[in-house]
């Protein structure tokens, strides 16, 4: 299979869906002429015109609000918020309006809206451009939260997200845009809300998503050389969470480790870990382990930034201690 | 302008009476603890919603506010279904899941009341963008109060609409107070029409107690929006008779001020004017009043007798279940 980058895979998904459905249009800051801060929408304006690929003012709340208004009146917008760190500016529109409108209206409308954004550390951009804020949104019923790690998952999940009649927060990772991988050409859809076992194993279950998947797989490879076979699961969708796949694995391996880049307290690991305890308590041979970001604002210093988030070495060490 | 026939006069007067009696009924139901929770009542402001809606088509959209009962009625909502929704009943327009703050009926073009001040202004811009992209000649009326003009989303959305020439008529119902804080105490400027200036759209003030004045003003700017000339801001000067909500003691305004606005009551002045112009007779006006009272009694009866939502409704409608393709 041909290999393309995560960025190209996303671009391809947008392009294919815009060709397929006239109702799909893109809107956001610097997405048209510039092609997106991380180049995901490169050349789409040239291909589809300024009407369907729209540069907006720096107005995050209005981008979300207008996306919602268009979504409930016959369009299928894909809007971009340049950094997940800017979510605070539009949280009211996402949390109160986008996610709740269907329920508040008694199910009489659908909200086919995709909100693309990206997060994560790795570029020493400091506390306003490096956060992993996905856990904020797990607390918002009505929303779906999708976080692809591989180029193929990025394409398959974005195409499915655009076809969903539910609002989707689609969180990319700034350090993955140049990652290459095999991606099917043309029609390729992956189900929203379905985890995937990325590496089979029997000694422990590691749940890792987005950039952390790569670190977890690296750690798993090293552990395998020492005879420890861990199963690595990428939930891919955090809300709703595929607890069936996760539970099945934990019941088999009797150990669970959650790896997340975001800060530990009140994070994704807290939620997934608690659900594991609720579902698999009798099967556990060890406490559920969280490997997470430090509870600090992301520091600028490359040295401190590296310390603030998990890496393959730390994941390897902590799992080895747990399993031994 | 201002020349209307008997049929239209009756329609306008009746809708205003419906809203007034609806709101008075809710006040009564709250006092009797039949209506639980809060409700922001529109009594006093009827001419704004009724006049504005008389200027647009059924397939046009509106976005509404926390004070949204009047908009929902004027946009063609059913009195029994709206009343049932306010009581949280299964038969309500939103199946009892929205309530007073979230009255909506997308099928009738009402994109919803909103519990967040200014929260629906972006939705209106988006509906306008959708119209532009789909190439239809619909328009959007975006209602909000004076308080909302100080929110960020108001400015972001007016900028977007002004820049893209979206077919949205922004209607500020200036009832002088954002809860208790007056426009004078909250806004750096008193003349709210000036808030449209940086967004390159026309703005005009109008007497929000005069249903025909509102209708004429909205007609003028709706026509412009419909023909691609872009958005406008209309500021309707009006007044809410009740407090902000049921618990409001109204210490921030005087009895004299309240009386001065009640003296300009939109229903009384319009009814009187129609009689003076020999468009309606006194009997026709009193008959209309009785007709509306009977409708309201039926709506209240329907709402009270309607069942509560079933427990299994709790988890329904959070997500749309089968994905479209």
The pLDDT, as a whole number, for residue B3 is 76
Residue B303 CB contacts under 8 Å (≥ 6 apart), including other chains? B80, B83, B84, B86, B87, B89, B91, B92
Q: Are the C-beta atoms of residues B80 and B28 closer than 8 Å to each other?
A: no
pLDDT tens string B161-207: 999 999 999 999 999 999 999 999 999 999 999 999 999 999 999 99
**Segment holding A271, helix H or strand E:** helix A268-280
Q: Is the pLDDT of residue B253 over 90?
A: yes
- Which of B109, B116, B133 is the best mutation test for A, with the most CBs of A within 10 A? B133
Residue A59: which of A31, A34, A89, A84 has the closest Cα? A89
DSSP bridge partners of A291: A259
Share the mean pLDDT of chain A. 98
Least reliable range by pLDDT among A124-128, A244-248, A316-320, B244-248: B244-248
Q: How many residues can be counted in chain A?
A: 324
Chain A interface, Cβ < 8 Å to B: 25, 51-52, 56-57, 59, 61-62, 64-75, 77, 92-93, 96-97, 101-110, 112, 141-142, 144, 160, 163-166, 192
| % pLDDT > 90, chain B | 94
The pLDDT, as a whole number, for residue B322 is 76
Q: What is the chain B residue with the closest CA to A63?
A: B122
| % pLDDT > 70, chain A | 100
CA distances from B8 to A305, A309, B51, B55, B283 (A): 69, 68, 11, 12, 17
Q: What CATH number should be reported for the domain whose range is A3-182?
A: 3.40.50.970
Where does the pLDDT of residue B325 fall: very low under 50, low under 70, confident under 90, or very high at 90 and above? very low
The pLDDT, as a whole number, for residue B37 is 86
Residue B300 CB contacts under 8 Å (≥ 6 apart), including other chains? B25, B29, B83
Where does the pLDDT of residue B317 fall: very low under 50, low under 70, confident under 90, or very high at 90 and above? very high
Distance CA B157, CA B222 (A): 18
Q: Say whether B323 and A103 touch across the interface (CB within 8 A).
A: no
pLDDT tens string B78-118: 999 999 999 999 999 999 999 999 999 999 999 999 999 99
Q: Say whether B159 and A62 touch across the interface (CB within 8 A).
A: yes
Where does the pLDDT of residue A124 fall: very low under 50, low under 70, confident under 90, or very high at 90 and above? very high
Size of interface A-B (CB pairs under 8 A): 156
Q: Is the pLDDT of residue B38 over 60?
A: yes
Q: Are the C-beta atoms of residues B261 and B209 closer than 8 Å to each other?
A: yes
Least reliable range by pLDDT among A71-80, A86-95, B35-44, B219-228: B35-44
Q: Say whether A97 and B92 touch across the interface (CB within 8 A).
A: no
Where does the pLDDT of residue A121 fall: very low under 50, low under 70, confident under 90, or very high at 90 and above? very high
Pairing of strands B232-237, B168-174: parallel
Q: Say whether B159 and A59 touch across the interface (CB within 8 A).
A: yes
Where does the pLDDT of residue B246 fall: very low under 50, low under 70, confident under 90, or very high at 90 and above? confident
In chain B, which residues have their Cβ closer than 8 Å to the Cβ of A57? Answer: 156, 159-160, 163
In chain A, which residues have their Cβ closer than 8 Å to the Cβ of B134? Answer: 74-75
The pLDDT, as a whole number, for residue B1 is 47
pLDDT tens string B259-291: 999 999 999 999 999 999 999 999 999 999 999
The pLDDT, as a whole number, for residue B247 is 82
Chain centroid to Cα B153, Å, comes to 19
Q: What is the chain B residue with the closest CA to A167?
A: B319
The pLDDT, as a whole number, for residue B14 is 98
**Segment holding B197, helix H or strand E:** none
Share the mean pLDDT of chain B. 96
Q: Which two tokens stand for residue A179?
A: 């990652």
DSSP bridge partners of A259: A208, A291
H-assigned helices in chain B: 6-31, 46-53, 69-74, 79-86, 121-134, 152-164, 183-186, 211-226, 255-262, 266-276, 282-305
The pLDDT, as a whole number, for residue B244 is 83
Question: Which segments of chain A belong to CATH 3.40.50.970?
Answer: 3-182
CA distances from B24 to A89, B31, B36, B174 (A): 38, 11, 15, 21
Residue B257: which of B240, B278, B271 has the closest Cα? B240
Question: Which segments of chain A belong to CATH 3.40.50.920?
Answer: 196-323
Q: Say whether B114 and A72 touch across the interface (CB within 8 A).
A: no
Q: Identify the three-state secondary structure at position A207.
A: strand
Where does the pLDDT of residue B324 fall: very low under 50, low under 70, confident under 90, or very high at 90 and above? very low
Q: Which domains does chain B have, with CATH numbers?
A: 6-298 (3.40.50.970)
Chain centroid to Cα A239, Å, comes to 10
How large is the average pLDDT for residues A129-157?
A: 98
**What values do phi and psi take at B68, rounded to 5?**
-105, 5
Q: Is the pLDDT of residue B318 over 50?
A: yes
The pLDDT, as a whole number, for residue B245 is 81
The pLDDT, as a whole number, for residue B259 is 97
Cite the active site residues of A: 60, 129
Q: Identify the three-state secondary structure at position B155.
A: helix
| % pLDDT > 90, chain A | 100
Q: Say whether A62 and B92 touch across the interface (CB within 8 A).
A: no
Q: Are the C-beta atoms of residues B292 and B300 closer than 8 Å to each other?
A: no
In chain A, which residues have their Cβ closer than 8 Å to the Cβ of B95? Answer: 106-107
How large is the average pLDDT for residues A205-231?
A: 98
CATH entry 3.40.50.300 includes domain A196-323? no
Buried b / exposed e along A256-273 (16+ C-beta atoms within 10 A): bbbbbbbbbeebbbbbbb
Pairing of strands A53-55, A24-28: parallel
Pairing of strands A289-293, A256-263: parallel
Residue A70: which of A109, A103, A31 has the closest Cα? A109
Distance CA A146, CA A154 (A): 9
The pLDDT, as a whole number, for residue A100 is 98
């Amino acid at each position: 299979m041909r290999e393309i980058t995560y960025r190209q895979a996303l671009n391809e998904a947008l392009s294919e869906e815009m060709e397929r459905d006239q109702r799909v249009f893109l809107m956001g800051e610097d997405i048209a002429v510039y092609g997106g801060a991380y180049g995901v929408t490169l050349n789409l304006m040239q291909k589809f015109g300024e009407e369907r690929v729209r540069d907006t003012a720096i107005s995050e709340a209005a981008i979300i609000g207008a996306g919602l208004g268009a979504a409930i009146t016959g369009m299928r917008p894909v809007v971009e918020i340049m950094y997940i760190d800017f979510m605070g500016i539009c949280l009211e529109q996402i949390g109160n309006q986008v996610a709740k409108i269907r329920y508040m209206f008694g199910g009489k409308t659908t909200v086919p809206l995709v909100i693309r954004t990206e997060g994560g550390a790795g570029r020493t951009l400091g506390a306003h451009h490096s956060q992993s804020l996905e856990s904020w949104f797990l607390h918002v019923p009505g929303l779906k939260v999708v976080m692809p790690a591989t180029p193929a998952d990025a394409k398959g999940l974005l195409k499915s997200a655009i076809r969903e009649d539910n609002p989707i927060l689609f969180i990319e990772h700034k350090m993955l845009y140049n990652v290459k991988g095999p991606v099917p050409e043309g029609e390729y859809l992956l189900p929203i809300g379905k985890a995937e076992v990325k590496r089979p194993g029997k000694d422990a279950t590691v749940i890792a998503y987005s950039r952390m998947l790569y670190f977890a797989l690296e750690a798993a490879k090293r552990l395998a050389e020492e005879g420890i076979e861990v199963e690595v699961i990428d939930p891919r969708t955090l809300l709703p969470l595929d607890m069936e796949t996760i539970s099945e694995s934990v019941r088999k391996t009797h150990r669970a480790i959650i790896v997340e880049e975001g800060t530990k307290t009140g994070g994704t690991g807290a939620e997934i870990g608690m659900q594991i305890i609720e579902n698999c308590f009798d099967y556990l041979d060890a406490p559920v382990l969280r490997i997470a970001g430090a509870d600090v604002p992301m520091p600028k210093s490359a040295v401190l930034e590296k310390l603030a988030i998990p890496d393959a070495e730390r994941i390897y060490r902590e799992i080895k201690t747990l399993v031994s | 302008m201002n020349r209307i026939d008997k049929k239209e006069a009756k329609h306008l007067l009746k809708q205003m009476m419906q809203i007034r009696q609806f709101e008075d009924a809710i006040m009564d139901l709250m006092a009797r603890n039949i209506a639980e929770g809060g409700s922001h009542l529109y009594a006093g402001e009827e001419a704004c919603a009724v006049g504005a809606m008389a200027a647009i088509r059924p397939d046009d959209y509106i976005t509404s506010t926390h004070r949204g009962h009047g908009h929902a009625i004027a946009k063609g909502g059913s009195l029994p279904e709206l009343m049932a929704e306010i009581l949280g009943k299964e038969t309500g327009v939103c199946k009892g899941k929205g309530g007073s703050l979230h009255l909506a009926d997308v099928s009738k073009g009402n994109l919803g009341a909103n519990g967040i001040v200014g929260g629906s202004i972006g939705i209106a811009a988006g509906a306008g963008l959708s119209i532009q992209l789909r190439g239809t000649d619909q328009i959007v009326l975006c209602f909000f109060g004076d308080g909302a003009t100080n929110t960020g989303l108001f400015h972001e959305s007016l900028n977007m609409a002004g820049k893209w020439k979206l077919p949205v008529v922004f209607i500020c119902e200036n009832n002088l107070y954002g809860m208790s804080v007056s426009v004078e105490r909250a806004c750096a400027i008193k003349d709210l029409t000036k808030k449209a200036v940086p967004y390159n759209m026309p703005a005009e003030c109008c007497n929000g107690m005069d249903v025909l004045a509102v209708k004429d003003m909205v007609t003028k700017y709706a026509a412009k929006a419909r023909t691609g000339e872009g958005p406008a801001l209309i500021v309707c000067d009006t007044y809410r008779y009740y407090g902000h909500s049921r618990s409001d003691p109204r210490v921030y305004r005087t009895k004299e001020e309240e009386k001065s606005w009640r003296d300009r009551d939109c229903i009384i002045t319009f009814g009187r004017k129609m009689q003076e112009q020999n468009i309606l007779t006194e009997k026709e006006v009193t008959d209309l009043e009785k007709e509306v009272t009977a409708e309201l009694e039926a709506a209240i009866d329907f709402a009270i007798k309607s069942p509560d939502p079933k427990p299994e409704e709790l988890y329904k409608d959070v997500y749309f279940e089968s994905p479209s393709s």
